[in-house]
Structure 1
Amino acid sequence: MDSLIVGSFTRSNPHNFPAALHIPSLRNSIQGSRCKEWSPLEGICSVKYQRYLVEGHTVTDQKKSILCPTNCRKRLVVACGGQPLESEPNVYDSKNLWNSVTSFLDAFYRFSRPHTVIGTTLSIVSVSLLAVQKLSDLSPVFFTGMLEAIIAALFMNIYIVGLNQISDIEIDKVNKPYLPLASGEYSTATGIFIVTSFAILSFWLWSVVGSWPLFWALSVSFVLGTAYSINLPMLRWKRSAVVAAMCILVVRAIIVQIAFFLHMQTHVFGRPAAFSRPVIFATAFMSFFSVVIALFKDIPDMEGDRIFGIRSFTVRLGQKRVFWICIALLQMAYAVAIIVGASSSFFWSKLITVVGHGILATMLWRNAKSTDLSSKVEITSFYMFIWKLFYAEYLLIPLVR
């Protein structure tokens, strides 16, 4: 009977270990064969929802580790069954390795701020398509050049958002406690290693590609992203609401549209620098959108910003006023987009851009009216909705002709 219990523990359900130890006969057998230093084991087994790892003489959970001393380094054996508890160590090793990998990937996913990663990727794809003049331009050279720009930009994106988290650990413990540095999943040294590595990788990739527009895109992003976050004299520009908004506007609205378009236009296609009507529209529209993102991102973070002296527009003007300023700015941008679309000489472009922007404007208004501004959860959800509108715009921009 007891040997069957041990077999069940080692093969089918290892987490039954705590329950098994509460069977009197089995527990007494283990107590009879263990060393004196093993007595804390009972205390661990009484705690609910803990993970156990039995590797010969070691029992660990997330907070405790009890190790049998050297002279007793033998496998736990159930006296009446004679079966070792470590009968299949490879199963546990594989499971622990998989858990470690998934935990690391989950933490890195949150560290990279995925909504910014998606936004960067979509914006570069969209702007790259603006450089396409004929169907034959969609060649392997086009896709290679676009992929080089995306990877280099994503490396720089992770540097920027990571540096911001390193500089804001105490603030994020209030505003975003789920981030790896704020929660303690990553140490500060780990964060510094990650951001340094990705900044180096970004510029290394540029050195391989050799595109000067790409170099300027990465360099300006690096300088502004560093000045925005790092806490040094004359820097940490995020403390000024106006300067912080200008940093985001320059990177998201100007650098992304102009520099990456020139990368495709001059470096990939070898054509002279010339800004078309869609490129000018994209830059102007995204200027509005970048200001909205710069303003809106501080609305859910008002509590932490106020505590740590960040004088954002939300802290100064209040959540409700800034919220409706953002809505008004976006509605103005959509009105301009509808006018630009209606003036197109291509019927298909006119139809798609007018109808598409009309739908987005309607969705924005309906969601804004139904958002409870006293709920941080709803405000944060609406902020993510703003990013979805941002993604949707980059799907419409290549169709503006």
Structure 2
Amino acid sequence: MQQCAPLPLPLPRPPLYRIISSDSLWRCDVQRCALGCPRPVPDRRLARFAIQLPFSGAAGAAGTDPPKGNFSKFLEPVWRFLRPHTIRGTALGSLALVSRALIENKDLINWWLVFKAFYGLIALICGNGYIVGINQIYDIGIDKVNKPYLPIAAGDLSVDSAWLLVLSFAAAGLLIVVLNFGPFISSLYCLGLFLGTIYSVPPFRLKKYPVAAFLIIATVRGFLLNFGVYYATRAALGLTFEWSSPVAFITAFVTVFALVIAITKDLPDVEGDRKFQISTLATKLGVRNIAILGSGLLLANYLGAILAAVYMPQAFRRNLMVPVHAALALALIFQGWILEKANYSKEAISDFYRFIWNLFYTEYIIFPFI
């Protein structure tokens, strides 16, 4: 076949590939050649590379602006990186505790507290982002099996970008807390960051040890969040710390609930955990046994809430506490029955785990009114 003649420049280029020069994007496809003249076609490998680098400096060199949608495309994997279901739990918990403290001290409310509560919420979300983010950085191989939709495992977010995000979250959250909430809350915040770090980062990587992992999650999401937010809110009101019966109840209730979340979060991940030799109760005792154990602990939690309302009517609204927690317990039993009927398929296990998080959100939603 006659050798292809060089193509004249400039070549027409589709808008999708403007950030790549014509000689690097186009190639001759000899198999498409007719009468010795090749038809230029895009090099798809280079095209994929162009798409993956939407903020390439080549755009400026070429004198063209990056597409307007690039920033929104960047935000989507960042949002997934933050694990939205954990943010909802953190936000609902902090709002519920602040609301309860204000309900107990209505005469001390002022609008300045709204801004301070907002700063506190941002700090908590930053801390949450650091903890879940650093876990993803050190779990890439496991996530490619268990959670391939997460942005680093899916290739939608680079490890360098993830490190930049988690360090920014930690620095921003700590700065907010130090400037607004004093040394004691700052020390609690640092403790939460430290526990989140040793949970995921070698050589500690305490997530490999079931008991240590459960205790860390229960401490951070249960005790530290509830105690810290309530303490900070009372301090902002000019009050010394003092437990109230509802706050003591929600702290104990959510600590047990966080323990259940720590146990059941491994249910959908058994395949990857076994492959990477991560020891969890689910890999040791089996999915069915752990699902039953988690359900049993939650049912005990709901029974405790009902008994607290019955025996402490002066502290709780019995007409709300009893029927709502009874209904949630029945819903949990029904969801467990669905899981059993589905023979503990991966999809059913994921649905069961999501349902447990929905129960967690519900408890915080009703808490200010109990």
Range into which the TM-score falls when normalised by the shorter chain = 0.7 to 0.9
Tell whether the 8 Å contact from 1:217 to 1:260 is kept in structure 2 after alignment: no
CA distance in 2, matches of 1:146, 1:195: 23
C-alpha deviation, 1:43, in angstroms: 7.5
CA distance in 2, matches of 1:278, 1:347: 7
C-alpha deviation, 1:391, in angstroms: 0.5
C-alpha deviation, 1:187, in angstroms: 1.4
Equivalent residue number for residue 227 of structure 1:
198
Matched, 1:252 2:238: no
Q: 5+ residue gaps in structure 1?
A: 1-9, 16-30, 45-49, 51-59, 66-88
Equivalent residue number for residue 141 of structure 2:
170
CA distance in 1, matches of 2:315, 2:153: 51
C-alpha deviation, 1:129, in angstroms: 2.0
Equivalent residue number for residue 297 of structure 1:
265
CA distance in 2, matches of 1:138, 1:191: 39
Letter in 2 for 1:321: N
Tell whether the 8 Å contact from 1:253 to 1:283 is kept in structure 2 after alignment: yes
Equivalent residue number for residue 115 of structure 2:
144
Equivalent residue number for residue 128 of structure 1:
98
Tell whether the 8 Å contact from 2:309 to 2:316 is kept in structure 1 after alignment: no
**Given the two structures, how large is their TM-score scaled by the length of structure 2?**
0.82
Question: What is the RMSD of the two structures over their aligned residues, measured on CA atoms?
Answer: 2.7
1:230-241 superposed matches below 5 A? 230-232=201-203, 235-241=204-210
Determine which of 352, 359, 365 is the counterpart of 1:395. Answer: 365
Percent identity, aligned pairs only? 32
Is the alpha carbon distance of 1:356 and 1:142 closer, same or farther for their aligned partners in structure 2, counting shifts above 3 Å? farther
Letter in 2 for 1:263: A
CA distance in 2, matches of 1:207, 1:348: 35
CA distance in 1, matches of 2:281, 2:316: 41
1:288-323 residue CA offsets vs partner (Å, 9 max, x unmatched):
101100000001001111111111000110000000
Letter in 2 for 1:269: L
**Given the two structures, how large is their TM-score scaled by the length of structure 1?**
0.76
C-alpha deviation, 1:40, in angstroms: 4.1
1:240-389 superposed matches below 5 A? 240-266=209-235, 268-345=236-313, 349-371=317-339, 372-389=342-359
Tell whether the 8 Å contact from 2:246 to 2:316 is kept in structure 1 after alignment: no
Structure with greater Cα Rg: 1
Letter in 2 for 1:171: I
C-alpha deviation, 1:387, in angstroms: 0.7
Tell whether the 8 Å contact from 1:122 to 1:394 is kept in structure 2 after alignment: yes
Letter in 2 for 1:62: R
Question: May I ask how many residue pairs the two structures share in their alignment?
Answer: 327
1:260-287 residue CA offsets vs partner (Å, 9 max, x unmatched):
1110112x11111111111111111112
CA distance in 2, matches of 1:347, 1:210: 29
Is the alpha carbon distance of 1:40 and 1:316 closer, same or farther for their aligned partners in structure 2, counting shifts above 3 Å? farther
C-alpha deviation, 1:142, in angstroms: 2.7
Matched, 1:200 2:171: yes
Equivalent residue number for residue 48 of structure 2:
62
Q: 5+ residue gaps in structure 2?
A: 1-12, 17-31, 52-62
C-alpha deviation, 1:398, in angstroms: 2.0
Is the alpha carbon distance of 1:391 and 1:343 closer, same or farther for their aligned partners in structure 2, counting shifts above 3 Å? same
Is the alpha carbon distance of 1:174 and 1:144 closer, same or farther for their aligned partners in structure 2, counting shifts above 3 Å? same
Letter in 2 for 1:246: L
Tell whether the 8 Å contact from 1:216 to 1:259 is kept in structure 2 after alignment: no
C-alpha deviation, 1:220, in angstroms: 1.2
Is the alpha carbon distance of 1:324 and 1:272 closer, same or farther for their aligned partners in structure 2, counting shifts above 3 Å? same
